Structure 1
Amino acid sequence: MAQIHRAHIEPRPPRIFTRQDLVRVDPEAWSSWLGTRADLAGVPHLAVWAGAGRPLIVRRRVPGEGAGTVPLGLPLPPADGKRRIGLALPAERLTRLDSPSLAEVAPHAPPAWHGTIAAVVALGDRYGVTPRPFGGLLWQAVTGLTYLSPASDLDLLWPCPGPVPAGLLDRLAAIADNAPMRLDGEILLPDGTGLHWRELRDAPEGGTVLAKGLDGLAMWPVAPLRSRETA
Structure 2
Amino acid sequence: MIDVAALRRHDLVYVCSEAWSGLLHGQVEGEIEPDLLAWATSGRPAIFRRRICSDSMDIVPLGLPLPPDMGRKRLTLACPPTAVILAAPPPLLRDVLPAAPARWRPAIGALLEADVSCRCFGSLAWQYLTGLSYLTGTSDLDLLVACRSSVDATRTTALLNDVAERAPMRIDAELITPRGTAVQWREWLSGNPELLVKSHTGSALIAREALFA
Larger mean Cα displacement after TM superposition, 36-45 or 99-108: 36-45
Note the residue ranges of structure 1 that are not aligned, 5 or more in a row. 1-12
Structure 1 match to 2:128? 141
Structure 1 residues 190 and 91: CA distance shift in structure 2, 3 A: farther
Q: Distance in 1 between matches of 2:178 and 2:123?
A: 23
Q: Distance in 2 between matches of 1:130 and 1:197?
A: 14
The amino acid of 1:151's aligned partner reads T
Q: Distance in 1 between matches of 2:53 and 2:126?
A: 26
**1:94-105 equivalences in 2 (<5 Å):** 94=84, 95-105=86-96
Given candidates 181, 186, 209, the residue that maps to 1:198 is: 186
Matched, 1:24 2:24: no
Larger mean Cα displacement after TM superposition, 108-117 or 62-71: 62-71
- Secondary structure, aligned partner of 1:156: strand
Given candidates 59, 72, 91, the residue that maps to 1:69 is: 59
- How far the C-alpha of 1:191 sits from its partner, in A, is 4.6
- How far the C-alpha of 1:152 sits from its partner, in A, is 1.2
Structure 1 match to 2:169? 181
Matched, 1:85 2:75: yes
Q: Distance in 2 between matches of 1:27 and 1:103?
A: 29
Structure 1 residues 39 and 194: CA distance shift in structure 2, 3 A: same
The amino acid of 2:199's aligned partner reads G
Given candidates 124, 127, 147, the residue that maps to 1:160 is: 147
Normalised by the length of structure 2, the TM-score is 0.88
Contact 2:176 2:182 in 1 (8 A): yes
Contact 1:133 1:156 in 2 (8 A): yes
- Secondary structure, aligned partner of 1:49: helix
Structure 1 residues 101 and 17: CA distance shift in structure 2, 3 A: same
Q: Distance in 2 between matches of 1:27 and 1:75?
A: 18
- How far the C-alpha of 1:82 sits from its partner, in A, is 0.7
Contact 1:210 1:218 in 2 (8 A): yes
Q: Distance in 2 between matches of 1:160 and 1:171?
A: 13
Contact 2:27 2:75 in 1 (8 A): no
Which structure shows the higher helix fraction? 2
Q: Percent identity?
A: 39
Q: Distance in 1 between matches of 2:41 and 2:168?
A: 36
Contact 1:166 1:226 in 2 (8 A): no
Contact 2:58 2:80 in 1 (8 A): yes
Instruction: Compare relative contact order (CA 8 Å, sep 6+) and give the higher one, 1 or 2.
Output: 1
- How far the C-alpha of 1:98 sits from its partner, in A, is 4.8
Output the aligned Cα RMSD.
Answer: 2.1
Contact 2:177 2:211 in 1 (8 A): no
Structure 1 match to 2:201? 215
Matched, 1:111 2:102: yes
Q: Distance in 1 between matches of 2:48 and 2:173?
A: 16
How many residue pairs get aligned? The number is: 208
Structure 1 residues 224 and 188: CA distance shift in structure 2, 3 A: same
Normalised by the length of structure 1, the TM-score is 0.82
Instruction: Please list the CA deviations of residues 116-147 of structure 1 after superposition, one character each: whole Å capped at 9, or x if unmatched.
Output: 00111123x1xxx4201111100000001001
Q: Distance in 1 between matches of 2:78 and 2:27?
A: 16
Contact 1:21 1:96 in 2 (8 A): yes
- How far the C-alpha of 1:190 sits from its partner, in A, is 4.3
